[in-house]
Amino acid sequence: MWIVPVNHGSGSEIFYVGDEFFRALWRYRAELAPVYWLAGCLLAGWWLHAAHPNWWPLPIVAGLTGLVLLAFRPAVLIAKYPLLSRWRVRLWGAGFIATVSAWLTAATITGPTAGPMRPIALLATAAFAVPWIWREDRARLTKVRILRDHFPDTADAAGLSGARMVSAVIDKWGWTARIRLRRGQTYGDAVKALPELESALGARIGSARAEPVKDNASQFTLRLVEIDPHAQPVLWEPRHTPVLGKPNASITEPITVGIYEDGAPVIVSVLRRHVLIGGATDSGKSGLLNVILGRIAECNDTAVWGIDLKKGMELAPWSNVLHKLATDNDSAEDLLQSAVDELEARAEFLTSQGRREWYPKSDAPQLFIMIDEYAELSKKGQKLADSISRRGRAVAVCLLIATQRPTQKSMGEGSALRAQMNVRFCLRVNEAPDVDLILGAGKLRAGWDTTTFDAPGKFLVSAAGLDAPRRARAELMTDADVHDTAITYARPGSVTAQLAAQAVFASPDSPAHGLVEAPETIGTPPAVSGPEMALWAALKDAPPEGVSVGSLQQATGRGRRWVYKRLQAGREDGTVTTPSHGRWRAMTPRQNPPPPNQPIPPADRPTDPDGGHADNQPHDHPQ
């Protein structure tokens, strides 16, 4: 507050009173808003009538623009003004805009004081002021203002003497305030003082939260949760409903796994990232694992393999989505070895293309290896998983691990796996040091404490862009939700499909019985890398004389035109050559590349229906 000493009748007393008067006008701007509306309309009408009487269409255009936005683009306005999410508020706003624009139009033509213009302005102001003043959150706004005015005393009682409340906003579940600390105080002091702040505010135990302000060490954000949105489970909501002819969601977009205490969704990117889920028994690890797997299943550019050392008890319901499922250490080692082979094949392919990262798409998906109860893996399995964690990010072969205590012993001696986890979820833990084990050293001291969580599914998440300890709760997937999601997003070649094929081959009544072998459930993985890598593998393993286009069609499962486009693109960038007429193979480092843009021999080129050649079409470069 600006206080000027009063000196026996000097003008400083007037300045002091004026300063307090204008501060009050600003502090109570919400309650005085109707007065400001009236004054603003009168001034605008007077100026328009006196200076620009021919501008009377301007208020009409402005009013129509506002009405159109409210009617057809409410989402844009709601993002900035959440109160507009209520239909009553939008109806009030439409009436307000229409009335103001009509009155200003008339005032521009006739003047703001002509005839009944002033009584109409007063009546309209009174009509719109009543719902404004008595709106639903008025009592809470008043309460927050009182807290702000009395916060210095509250801070003194909590041991944060000198702290001031800069601003405050309310929401459905409580309020959030920006607090300026006294010089020398830090965010750490605020975290330690949270129990005292709860007592000084008369709040329930565990309802106060503190978050740092990155760009100002002398401030922090204080949140008081008056109504806990996590008191009841957060029900699962499918992100995407498949529609015939339209693509599913993509893993290149962040996934939603729950909600924060202020009702905002928990949005996390898992594109080319390893994920760690840690928590005590009955903390909700399997539930959170189901939610993440459900979001991954919704994406059409993902493939999932699972390791469940509880004999498949947790992951078996997802058999329609999983391409591989291991339920013991022997099959888990085979699965992880297949993942390492896939990783190395992808790395070799990227090197041949001169690229450094894998971009997932429907026929070249990101591969997730889900491991429930990682500590039960054998040493060989842990060694393979460690290799994947260090080398798999760039080629989109990623781990999703759930464990109770990711200690150095349980994660494998000498393992770097825990350090490679880009996204970490920490549910309830029994011992405070476990927070640092899951989230990283120093997190507990910085306020990331989950020992007081009182319901399954409550968690803290640490990831890129998520560096504040905001409490959240995962969505709840019931057994019916898991079943419906797995059926909706069933994948060709899934574990269920493989078992069904095995049953057909094994049935004595089947025409195929005894003719061919049934496919293996665990062993060689399905082709998750897509036709691009299949083409490259066939070209790389071709004999010196090369392979025919027909053989490449069989290897990729694609048509002749698709194969020719990729071959021509490979010749242009020097990765593919033709050792003989109609035969193809990958270039070796010792070979000299052919001249650029050398055409394919006419005899090898298929013709399109119009008589043109396929290689005259635009080329789609590999993956």
As a three-state string, the secondary structure of 57-114 is HHHHHHHHHHHHHHHHCHHHHHHHCHHHHCHHHHHHHHHHHHHHHHHHHHHHHHCCCC
What pLDDT sits at residue 64?
92
pLDDT single digits (tens) 487-535: 999 988 888 887 776 665 555 555 544 444 443 333 334 446 678 888 8
Res 387 pLDDT > 90? yes
CATH annotation of 531-616: 1.10.10.10
pLDDT single digits (tens) 397-409: 999 999 887 765 6
Res 554 pLDDT > 90? no
Question: Which is higher by pLDDT, 86 or 115?
Answer: 115
Say which DSSP state 609 is in.
T
CA distance 294 to 288: 10
What pLDDT sits at residue 534?
83
Same fold, 138-225 and 531-616: no
Say which range, 13-27, 39-53, 98-112, 603-617, has the weakest mean pLDDT: 603-617
Res 581 pLDDT > 70? yes
Q: Of 315, 210, 287, 597, whose CA–CA distance to 473 is shortest?
A: 287
What pLDDT sits at residue 516?
42
CATH annotation of 138-225: 3.30.980.40
Res 143 pLDDT > 90? no
Identify the band that residue 315 occupies on the pLDDT scale cut at 50, 70 and 90. very high
Is the pTM higher than 0.85? The answer reads no
What pLDDT sits at residue 147?
78
What pLDDT sits at residue 70?
85
Residue 265 phi/psi, 5° resolution?
Answer: -75, 150
Say which range, 384-388, 518-522, 548-552, has the weakest mean pLDDT: 518-522
Identify the band that residue 413 occupies on the pLDDT scale cut at 50, 70 and 90. low
Res 309 pLDDT > 50? yes
What pLDDT sits at residue 598?
46
Identify the band that residue 334 occupies on the pLDDT scale cut at 50, 70 and 90. very high
Q: Give Cα separations from 475 to 265, 276, 279, 459 (angstroms).
A: 10, 18, 16, 11
CA distance 530 to 534: 7
Q: Is 184 left (phi over 0), alpha (psi -120 to 50) or beta?
A: left
Round the average pLDDT of the chain to a whole number and report it: 81
Res 616 pLDDT > 60? no
What pLDDT sits at residue 590?
45
Domain ranges of the chain: 31-133, 138-225, 249-488, 531-616
Question: How many helices (H) and strands (E) in the chain?
Answer: 19, 17
CA distance 294 to 492: 17
Identify the band that residue 592 occupies on the pLDDT scale cut at 50, 70 and 90. very low
What pLDDT sits at residue 385?
93
CA distance 570 to 586: 9
CA distance 504 to 553: 28
- CATH class of this structure's domain 249-488: alpha beta
